[in-house]
Structure 1
Amino acid sequence: MNKVLYCRRQYYAIYMPEHHRAHKDGYVYEHVLIAEYKLQRPLKAQEVVHHLDGNKLNNSPENIVVLKNKADHALLHKLIDANRFYQLLEDDDGTVVIIYDKPTCIKCGNPLSGYRAHYCQECARKMQRKVLRPSRDVLKIDIRTTPFTTLAAKYHVSDKAIRKWCKYYHLPYKRSEIQQLSDIQWNAL
């Protein structure tokens, strides 16, 4: 067999025009042949070979694993790039299955949507605030006893920001609505 460096993607390739995975020029990637030898069967069309150490030229059988499809291969690279913990477990057919924990927010523990994120959207939004928002109970007492403009000065924001906080906490945000509520109704809020 004639082993050459396949120039298109910098993989070693062997001339075997009769092989089912041969390219138009008759060459087959060496890592494909080694994976088939390791599994003792031809690779399925959707299966993908992965080099564990990332070195395309290291085709030792210990460095090669077969993934079920391109989606699993992409997921594995995302986990590697994001430096996330994962395990590869061998399946019955010789391919590997990726076992990993879903990433969680380091502040609140909620699941994350992205692999590179460290905070959930809610925590990230809170961290971007320039002013620390008072709790609902503190704001509820403040708006009952103090005008919005005075509260705005106290918290170094505009009175419109105070109204937005009230809306966020589902509190009345108009002075007339606040004054119309009795003490019993106010405590029920």
Structure 2
Amino acid sequence: MDEADFTDFVTHRAGALLRTAFLLCGGDRGAAEDLLQEVLERAYPRWRRIRNRPEPYLRAALANAAANRWRSRSRRVAEVPLENAPAVTRPGHEQRIVDEDHVVRALHTLPARMRAVLVLRFFDDMSEADIAKALRCSTGTVKSQTSRGLARLREVLDDTEVPNLIHERTP
């Protein structure tokens, strides 16, 4: 096993993978860090097999692990609605932070699979075919989940409020 290669990959790509985990976890940084750690731990023994294309594999693993966590957690814990949670404030670039917070909160209202499709498509810039392969579903399912997810986000978000964060692509 090439430990240096794995370490180098994690050093350079952990930030981008953490962003994906953050969005999949509904804006909970602690849960995102735990999720990423768990996925990287499981990926390490498989590194030889996945080292040529690790990013799609890891993004799919994050999406699946997030959905599994959400399912098992919902059976055990009564969650506090996110809209009742205190708003996270950060200094500087306030409007962008507010906009991003609105998007994260809106994403959290979607079912886990739909959220995974939107995060992989619009935040990680994966193609529909790659998402379908990663989530083990058809391209048609990805397209319908994307369409429905964007429609639901538009209901929650005012398009003028968040103009540049989510945008529909034309093929």
TM-score of the pair, normalised by structure 1: 0.21
Bigger RCO of structures 1 and 2 (CA < 8 A, at least 6 apart): 2
Which one has a larger percent helix, Structure 1 or Structure 2? Answer: 2
Which one has a larger percent strand, Structure 1 or Structure 2? Answer: 1
TM-score of the pair, normalised by structure 2: 0.22
